[in-house]
């Protein structure tokens, strides 16, 4: 536990220096001066806009900051991406880039930001402080202000090779008709902290091996527990529920059934809504003990189910979810769709940063004794500081948390 606390001690954020292109002056950070983003913006004046661009490393870090700010405020921002890779490969590279930067300077305000989203391939522009009501108007205006001048300066042949895409942040998560698969594609495109392919393959390989070993080791429980459930209550052995996975993809979440087959889900729905809003546990417990942020003495839970929950044995079928690739051994807990309806914008980020898991920082750091906001912060810290070593430490801490039964209800 002490090792995990050391790993997650707050650290000062620094920008990593990037190498600029020889054809232009790139605004990069300096390890000694550690300029804040505000000073970088001030140096990015309109008069010099056509000569200066943020490097990929700096631009992506600013994009991350703007995402966090938008998630916690009523203001949106617009990200415009221009894929110019085919254009800059021509023998007119310097001339084309000069014309591109000139057009950008004319279409952006002083507070807006431009730089390489992908070095020498994709240019990014961030238009800040956009009101939700202005989204469609701004989108049309930006397209018109960019396309017409580019046609005049570069000609239709080159402009047709430039691909534009516009993305508003944060997205409208509360719209039930939203296409989650589109969000998945968008997040993969703009997320600057996604794991590298090698790291993803290593984590997936660990999940496959770990889940297979787990299914073999715990195979006696897959015989004994179903018998106990069948002998003490009516209904199926497995509890199947739709959950929201990474990038909002839905999947069937598996558990050993711990409740009566016929029960009222509105009890949990009401509790979850209050829990996410912070209405539960706002006052300290009357007996001086830590507040529990989970339903206790739930009449819907069977006797066998109560034992399964206390020992977390009801979670064992999720090894099948891991083997299928729907979950990971370590990661955030997957929410129920009606939980997501109550999320604030910044809460949604936990759905994108990592694949949901059986165990995680939340389980080994208090479990049901933490608030919802604290749980989300732990999920985001895990995702942004992920390593195989961190997964190993969490898995090592999990048996102790299970045996202690702390926060298990």
CA distance 25 to 51: 6
Give the pLDDT band of residue 251 (cuts 50, 70, 90).
very high
Distance of CA 41 to the CA centre of its chain: 27
- Greater model confidence, 344 or 214: 214
Mean pLDDT, range 233-255, rounded to an integer: 91
Alpha-carbon distances of 320 from 154, 264, 316, rounded to whole Å: 56, 27, 8
DSSP symbols for 217-239? HTTTHHHHHHHHHHHHSSS-SEE
Give the pLDDT band of residue 266 (cuts 50, 70, 90).
confident
**Among 53-67, 101-115, 171-185, whose mean pLDDT is lowest?**
171-185
- Greater model confidence, 132 or 179: 132
- Greater model confidence, 281 or 303: 303
Of 203, 390, 210, 223, nearest to 313 by C-alpha is 223
Give the pLDDT band of residue 253 (cuts 50, 70, 90).
very high
CA distance 342 to 339: 6
Q: Alpha helix (H) ranges present in 89-244?
A: 93-107, 135-154, 156-159, 180-190, 197-217, 221-232
pLDDT, position 67: 78
Average pLDDT value over all residues in the chain: 75
CA distance 184 to 44: 32
Domain boundaries, the chain: 14-170, 197-404
Tell whether the model's pLDDT for residue 362 goes beyond 90.
no
Tell whether the model's pLDDT for residue 27 goes beyond 50.
no
Tell whether the model's pLDDT for residue 57 goes beyond 80.
yes
Architecture of domain 14-170: 2-Layer Sandwich (3.30)
CA distance 377 to 348: 11
pLDDT, position 325: 94
343 three-state secondary structure: coil
pLDDT, position 316: 96
pLDDT, position 130: 74
CA distance 350 to 264: 28
């Amino acid at each position: 536990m002490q090792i995990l606390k050391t790993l997650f001690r707050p650290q000062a954020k620094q920008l990593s220096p990037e190498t600029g292109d020889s054809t232009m002056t790139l605004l990069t950070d300096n390890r000694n001066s550690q300029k804040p983003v505000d000073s970088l913006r001030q140096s990015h004046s309109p008069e010099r806009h056509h000569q200066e661009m943020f490097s990929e490393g700096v631009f992506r870090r600013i994009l991350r900051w703007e995402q966090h700010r938008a998630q916690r405020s009523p203001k949106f921002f617009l990200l415009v991406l221009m894929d110019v890779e085919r254009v800059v490969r021509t023998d007119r590279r310097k001339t084309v880039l000069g014309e591109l930067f000139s057009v950008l300077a004319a279409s952006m305000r002083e507070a807006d930001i431009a730089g390489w989203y992908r070095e020498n391939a994709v240019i990014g522009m961030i238009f800040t402080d956009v009101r939700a009501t202005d989204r469609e108007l701004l989108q049309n205006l930006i397209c018109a202000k960019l396309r017409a001048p580019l046609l005049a300066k570069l000609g239709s042949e080159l402009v047709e090779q430039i691909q534009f895409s516009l993305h508003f942040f944060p997205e409208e998560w509360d719209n039930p008709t939203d296409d989650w698969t589109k969000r998945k594609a968008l997040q993969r495109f703009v997320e600057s902290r996604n794991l590298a392919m090698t790291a993803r393959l290593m984590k997936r390989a660990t999940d496959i091996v770990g889940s297979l070993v787990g299914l073999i080791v715990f195979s006696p429980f897959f015989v004994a527990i179903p018998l106990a459930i069948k002998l003490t209550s009516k209904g199926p052995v497995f509890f199947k529920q739709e959950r929201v996975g990474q990038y909002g993809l839905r999947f069937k979440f598996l558990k050993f059934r711990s409740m009566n087959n016929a029960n009222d889900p509105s009890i949990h729905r009401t509790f979850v809504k209050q829990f996410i809003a912070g209405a539960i546990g706002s006052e300290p417990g009357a007996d001086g003990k830590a507040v529990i942020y989970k339903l206790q003495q739930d009449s819907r839970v069977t006797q066998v189910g109560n034992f399964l929950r206390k020992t977390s044995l009801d979670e064992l079928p999720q090894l099948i979810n891991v083997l299928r690739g729907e979950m990971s051994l370590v990661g955030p807990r997957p929410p129920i769709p009606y939980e997501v309806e109550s999320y604030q914008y910044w809460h949604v980020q936990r759905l994108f940063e990592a694949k949901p898991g059986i165990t995680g920082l939340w389980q080994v750091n208090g479990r049901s004794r933490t608030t919802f906001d604290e749980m989300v912060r732990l999920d985001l810290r895990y995702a942004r500081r992920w390593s195989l070593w961190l997964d190993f430490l969490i898995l090592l801490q999990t048996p102790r948390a299970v045996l202690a039964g702390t926060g298990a209800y």
